[in-house]
Structure 1
C-alpha cells in the first residue's frame, strides 16, 4: 500500500429518483461546483475524489446513475462491487422519499453486496419552505435501517462533504477489520496443518493396524473353507454309499 498514491480505494454508487439532485450532489462534492441548469444523466457518470482522512489517503470512485426507469437495466450492473450506496431523495418531493423504501432498497438488496454500507441524503435543504418530508421522521427511519442520514444542499454545499466523510470513515474501519482478519488466517492455517498431520499419522497407524487385523482374520477363514469343503466331500461319499447299498438290496 505504501507504493500506491492512496491507502484506500472506495467505490460508491449514487441512486435515487430522477431530478432529486444526484448529479448536483456529486458535482458539488467532487469539483465544488453547482449549476442551475438541469442536465439529465444518460446511463452513468463517474468522478474521482481523493480525501486525506486521519493522515491516510482515501480515493473515492463515485458513480452517478440515471434515475429513469429505461436506464435501470444498465445501472443495475454498477451495484456489483460497490462498497457503499448513497440514496438521495428530494425533501420537497414526498414520492422521491417513498420510492427509497418502495423501490431503491429492493434494488440494493437484489444487486449490491450483502454487507454494503448505506448513506441516505435528503437533498435541496435550501428549499425548506417547500418541504414535504419531515426530518424527524426520516431520521428515525434511517436509524432503523442502520443508515447514516444527512439533509444536504448541493446549491449551498451544506452537509455535502460531512456526509461523504462519514461513509468514508465507516468503510475505512470495515476494510481495516477485514485486513486484520486476513492477517490472522495464516496462523490458524498452520495450526490446522499441524493437527491435520497428527491426524494423518494417527490415521496411517490405524490403517496399518486394520490391515494387520484383516490379514490375521483371513487365515481362520481359509481354514474354515477347507474344513467346509472336506465336510461336503464326506457328505457326498455317504450319499453314494447309501445308493450303492440300495442297489445291492435290489
Structure 2
C-alpha cells in the first residue's frame, strides 16, 4: 500500500462499509447540499471538494467504495495513498456494525496500522424514530447500542461520530473530523516527542485550525 503524500496539497478520504449504509448519501449531501433518496449500487466513485485550512487551499478527494464482495479487488485499489478512512455503518442495522468489527476494520488494519480511522454512524435521524424502532422489534432487533459502540471505539483507538445525511445533523462535522485527522497525522511528524500525546496534540491542533469549504 502506497504511503500518503501531502506535498501536493491534496488529501484522500476513503469511505468504507456495507452496501446501503449511506456512504454515497453522506458524500452527496456534503458536496451538493442535497439528499440522495434512491439507492444506486456503487462500484467506485470519486468526488472532490476544495477546503481552505488556515488560509491554505486543499483539494479533498472523497472515494466512495463498494461494499459488495465482488468488488473486493477494486476496493482495495482505492485504499492506495489514503490519508484517512471513514468506516460507515447504519445505526439501525446491527449487521452493518458487526461487519465493521469482523470485516472492515480488520481489512484496513491489515494494510496500514497508522492511517487515521473515523467510525461513522449513519442515519442517526432514525435512532429515535418510533416507527423504525417498532419495525426492528418485530424482527427481534434494536438500534446499535451506544455503549457497545463506545466500548469498541475505545478498544480500537478510533474516533466516532453519528450523523444524518437527510437532516445534515453532524454532516459537516464528519468531514471536518476526517480532514483534521489526516492533517494532524502530518503535523505530528514535526512535533517534539514530548508534545505528541494524543489528547494534548488533538486539542491544541483543533484550536489552531479554521476551515472553510467550497464545492467544485
Alpha carbon RMSD of aligned pairs, Å? 1.9
1:137 and 1:180 map into 2 onto residues whose CA distance is 34
Higher mean Cα deviation, 117-126 or 68-77? 68-77
Q: 1:6-58: CA deviations, max 9, x gaps?
A: 973111110100110010011111222102111111x2001111122333323
Q: Which residue of 169, 176, 187 maps to 2:187?
A: 176
Q: For residues 162 and 40 of structure 1, what CA distance do their matches in structure 2 show?
A: 26
Note if 1:11 corresponds to 2:22: no
> Partner of 1:74: helix, strand, or coil?
helix
Name the structure 1 match of 2:75.
75
Aligned to 1:165: 176
**Map of 2:117 onto structure 1:** 118
In 1, the alpha carbon distance for the partners of 2:173 and 2:8 equals 20
Bigger Cα Rg: 1
Query: Hey, what's the Cα distance between the residues in 2 that align with 1:90 and 1:27?
Result: 17
Judge conservation of contact 2:29–2:36 (CA < 8 Å) in 1.
Answer: no
Residue aligning to 1:224: none
Q: Using the TM superposition, give the Cα deviation of residue 100 of structure 1 relative to its aligned residue in structure 2, in angstroms.
A: 0.3
TM-score, length of structure 2 as denominator length: 0.74
Alignment of 1:30-69 (within 5 A): 30-41=31-42, 43-69=43-69
Match of 1:50, SS? strand
Q: Which runs of 5+ in 1 are unaligned?
A: 1-5, 182-250
SS of corresponding position for 1:46: strand
**Using the alignment, how far apart are the partners of 2:8 and 2:190 within structure 1?**
13
Cα deviation 1:95-118 (Å, max 9, x = unaligned): 00011010111210233x331110
Normalization by structure 1: what TM-score?
0.65
Shift of 1:169: 1.3
What is residue 211 of structure 1 aligned with on the other side? none
Q: Which has the higher helix share?
A: 1
- Whole-angstrom distance in 1 between the partners of 2:148 and 2:66: 27
Alpha-carbon distance, 1:119 to partner = 0.5
Q: Which has the higher strand share?
A: 2
Residue aligned with 1:103, SS: helix
Q: CA deviation at 1:168?
A: 1.0
Partner of 1:150: helix, strand, or coil?
Answer: strand
1:7 and 1:75 map into 2 onto residues whose CA distance is 24
| Contact 1:13/1:82 (8 A) holds in 2 | yes
- Show structure 1 runs of 4+ deviating over 3 A: 177-181
